[in-house]
Amino acid sequence: MLNNREHRTICHASIGTENLHLAEAFYTPLLKCLGIDLVCQYEKAIAYGKGYPEFWVQSPFDQQAVTVGNGTHFGFVATSKEQVDLFYSMAIALGASCEGEPGPRTDYGEPYYGCFVRDLDGHKIEASYWDLDLAAKIYKSG
């Protein structure tokens, strides 16, 4: 289930939600556009990934209100600029709020293209594409 585990640095991440059913209705189609599937489903949690549960959405374990981390966001890998654009338009259609429309961010490096939105609970999420060919030309070592 977890191939190439020696190349990974993070096992998984999780965020809280006030309404698991709404979160599922938001994240399932949104992440599907990036090739990320719903891989686990429990009474109080769901998890997404590419065969392995890497991104969890759940009711808080302590049963307190969901809070959003200031300075925290979760970035998802897109394989093209078109996927970033689709992710953004789908997120907005599903009720997300804009935190940065799709496009380059010069302070992130020339190969970067991405977008930022806030999900239904206010968590900041990102889809980004890194142009490997352009990066190889720009950053090739001498």
- The full set of domain ranges for the chain reads 12-60+71-139
Q: What is the pLDDT of residue 123?
A: 98
Looking up tokens 């980004």, which residue turns up? 128
Phi, psi for residue 58 in degrees, rounded to 5: -155, 160
From CA 28, how far away is CA 128, in angstroms rounded? 18
Q: Compute the average pLDDT of residues 49-61.
A: 95
Q: Which of 47, 49, 70, 71 lies closest to 58, judged by CA?
A: 47
Q: Compute the average pLDDT of residues 7-26.
A: 92
pTM equals 0.91
Q: Compute the average pLDDT of residues 23-32.
A: 98
pLDDT digits (tens, 9 = 90+) for 123-140: 999 999 999 999 999 988
Q: What is the pLDDT of residue 24?
A: 98
pLDDT over threshold 70, residue 7: no
pLDDT band at 23 (very low <50, low <70, confident <90, very high): very high
From CA 96, how far away is CA 60, in angstroms rounded? 21
Q: What is the pLDDT of residue 9?
A: 81
Architecture of domain 12-60+71-139: Roll (3.10)
